[in-house]
Chain A
């Protein structure tokens, strides 16, 4: 009989197995498909980030400054002193493991260093070595290790395999937020010019022209005008918005992804239609800005200073235009920054008014300091007060499920407002299983700047738990659309669906609203915003 290997030999032959050594002794190999290209030096220069140079993560030499260890040590020290939460997170983890299997990257890649507790240990081990007595004396026995070049490379590799989604923190009995540890780690890496291009270049573009693609103001306006034409064709109504209008009631800011990338563009049409409706019916005066043309804060993926600089542009524009307050669109990290950092970073925005809906009189108490209201909350309030004329059946061709985008859900607690809106504009809505939604939502796998092309394997592996839950409702209820309130989701989820659950599209909340919104005197609608025939209108739509 042929000499077949035993099952045990088979097990031992697979290279993917972790050596029985401790994690510190397990070398890190940077693998293709699992990392993003290095930041373009020009982009780093624009915003004054240090050590701008061409470098390649696969090269031996990362072209670091000579005293790089000293730079990190001092940067670490400074941050421990300035951010109490960071110091506490370094000290109090008891390694209970409750967070270990909660990270989508761990679940999807199977790589133990993607356990949140180990991701944090990457930094914590160096912290112990540099800043604690036990670590200095006992070294490895106390879980301490020196910051060598290999350790630094490991930091870079795994801190850019965290989408800062905070799912792990929901399960930590001590409330340790590994996302914050990642943020600090990325700040330290940035001190050495270690960034990725999908963050560095958007940051530079946002800084220069106000949005992540570097689109100039006139082109931004052209894009919106282009949507206006499309909407007129569909409804017969001209929804032309205000641009940079001084003295408008409200400034509206949305991620530029909504303006430039499908399917976010349809969400953008939704905003335009809603604001026009409110203007005609209730005289609400909203303006868009071609300067504050990006809600997404890519700065938050680099350093708190950069986050602050980009955030301040929105408020500078609100001040310049003299609006009363701000409505923010369906964005992810914009809301994390607004809700968690804006108040103490650039706020309180005292030159603006405390937001009150002029249509319903509702006071948005939670936006008292930031003066910025989430559009889902604004719209939910309008619906609650019966201010929108809606025909739910226009979304009958859609069987919807809803992905709680990490930042609005875990970062600001926006859970029920989008669902309330959905219930009012959609007849067919199916929730995914409870441990994959709301606070426990699974990340799209592409947040915090990881939405690039070259790391597609990483994104698809990280998005596996999300996709798996979508697949369940797709198979069980015939779900064909995945709703969300985040522009990164709208860019990241389509390929994720394409790979794991073909047949499921991605849609923003306000696209659904706009499909259902009945304008006085509009044309009879036979298709939705995408030109897809409405249920029962297939023949008419063809004509």
Chain B
């Protein structure tokens, strides 16, 4: 998959504008106070979620223009999706931000002038592809969480109690 030269050029030129618009959309998935904090606090350690958002959208954008390497996209999108998987976002809400890029780019580029919408079609297919990668990661994260939940009790005590044959002792009833 590859974008037309003209589109790439425009996307390159308008990179800052598009990214900052995209960032706005992503942070407004959070309550206003939080959105403000995500934007204002620049220290990556005081504001890890804001940092994840920036890194994620930057990586995705770069890959759209560049080699569209699926592995790089996956590792780029991972931190943000991983965060959302523990933040009570539904799967759809967690991945929604990817689709919003379509609208933002469309507002910044006149596709009709270029090739009758062919490049738009191409671009949207690529963005869909990214979203699908995001869905997979979301599911993996959820599975991981359930696995951690299931392991919780065992990891607290069971291994050693079993070893020492003490299991009957820990029955509370």
User: Which residue numbers of A lie inside 8 Å of B, CB to CB?
Assistant: 1, 4-7, 10-11, 14-18, 20, 31, 33-34, 42, 100-101, 106-112, 115, 201, 205, 213-216, 219, 222-223, 226, 260-262, 265, 433, 435-436, 452-454, 456-458, 460-461, 464-465, 468-469, 472, 491, 494-495, 498-500
- B100 with A460: CB separation less than 8 A: no
Interchain CB contact under 8 A, A16 and B93: yes
Asked if A468 contacts B45 (CB within 8 A), the reply is yes
Q: Are A215 and B45 in contact (CB under 8 A)?
A: no
Contact partner of A261 (CB less than 8 A), chosen from B24, B31, B160, is B160
In the assembled complex, the Cα of A212 lies from the Cα of B48 at a distance in Å of: 34
* In contact, B87 and A14 (Cβ under 8 angstroms): no
Within 8 Å CB of A34, what residues of B?
Answer: 88
Of the candidates B30, B47, B172, the one whose C-beta lies within 8 Å of that of A16 is B30
Q: Find the B residue at minimum CB distance from A23.
A: B33
| CB nearest to B25 among chain A residues | A7
**Binary interface profile of B, 31-58, with partner A (CB < 8 Å = 1, else 0)?**
1111001000101111111010000000
A359 to chain B, nearest CB (A): 32
A111 CA to B29 CA, complexed, in Å: 12
> From DSSP, what is the main secondary structure of chain A's interface residues?
helix
Q: Bound complex: CA of A435 vs CA of B46, how far in Å? A: 7
Give B contacts to A, CB under 8 Å: 21, 24-25, 28-34, 37, 41, 43-49, 51, 82-83, 85-90, 93, 96, 99-100, 102-104, 106-107, 117, 141, 144-145, 148-153, 155-157, 159-161, 163-164, 166, 169-170, 172
Q: Are A219 and B166 in contact (CB under 8 A)?
A: yes
> B45 and A460: CB pair below 8 A?
no
Q: Note all chain B residues with C-beta closer than 8 A to A5.
A: 103
Question: B47's contact among A107, A433, A456, by CB below 8 Å, is which?
Answer: A107
- Known A-B contacts A10-B96, A452-B152; A472 and B161 likewise in contact (beta carbons under 8 Å): no
Selected from B21, B51, B151, B161, the residue in CB contact (under 8 A) with A260 is B161
Contact A215 B169 (CB under 8 A): yes
Residues on the A chain within 8 Å of B45, using CB: 433, 435-436, 465, 468-469, 472
Q: How far is the CB of B147 from chain A (nearest CB, A)?
A: 9
Residues of A within 8 A of B30 (CB): 16-17, 110
Given contacts A16-B93, A499-B148, contact A464 B160 (CB under 8 A): no
Cβ of B36 to closest chain A Cβ, rounded Å:
10
A-side contacts of B104, CB under 8 Å = 7
